[in-house]
Amino acid sequence: MQTAHPHGGHEGTAPQGDWPAGYPAGYPVAESDRLTRFVTRMHARTPRWVVPLAAVGCVAAGIGYTLLSDPTRSAPDALPTCLLKLTTGLDCPGCGGTRALWYVLHADLPAAARHHFLFVFALPFLAYLFVAWAGRQAFGWRLPELRIGPKLVGGFLAAWLAFSVVRNLPWPPFTALYV
């Protein structure tokens, strides 16, 4: 049997005045453990520029890997390799992306587009979205937002799926899309 809580609700459930507005009443209150308290303290103490800096570090590591490995000269079965391409011989939706990035970094956009056109098309948008997010997080910048709705994302994913299918068709002119 549940007993009434002095602030409203029942014992073991969220009191009305202890939670932000909109929190559903009657849900059990989770007891805070040591890990949760530690993460909460670290979050409160961490400067707001740390997460964008970590993301820049991840992007830099990917770019560094691409520049050091030179994917344009490696063997098709060199590690790491695409498991789908290795097992089926088909180009996956991302096949050619690393080579396209290598060519973009060397300012050869036609060669980059030859390896993965949709990656090259999406790269400026992704870069702007990242700069706008990182600038807002780290410095409080308010850059103009790109309004990307679900229909646009769905259309891009449908185009990517169509590109992935068409590039694997065994007839000309589709064979020109093999990478």
pLDDT by residue (tens digit) across 54-93?
Answer: 999 999 998 998 888 888 887 766 666 777 777 887 878 8
CB 142 within 8 A of CB 136: yes
Count other C-beta atoms under 10 Å from residue 5's C-beta: 16
170 vs 122, higher pLDDT: 122
With b meaning 16 or more CB within 10 Å and e meaning fewer, what string describes 121-150?
Answer: eebeeeeeeeebbbeebbeeeeeeeeeeee
Which of 8-12, 20-24, 42-46, 101-105 has the lowest average pLDDT? 8-12
Average pLDDT over residues 144-162: 91
Give the pLDDT band of residue 28 (cuts 50, 70, 90): low
Question: Alpha-carbon distance 82 to 102, whole Å?
Answer: 17
Here the tokens at position 39 are 């993460």
The pLDDT of residue 76: 61
Question: Alpha-carbon distance 42 to 58, whole Å?
Answer: 21
The pLDDT of residue 168: 82
For tokens 């991302």, name the residue: 94
Which of 1-5, 73-77, 136-140, 157-161 has the lowest average pLDDT? 1-5
The pLDDT of residue 5: 44
Q: Does the pLDDT value for residue 167 go beyond 80?
A: yes
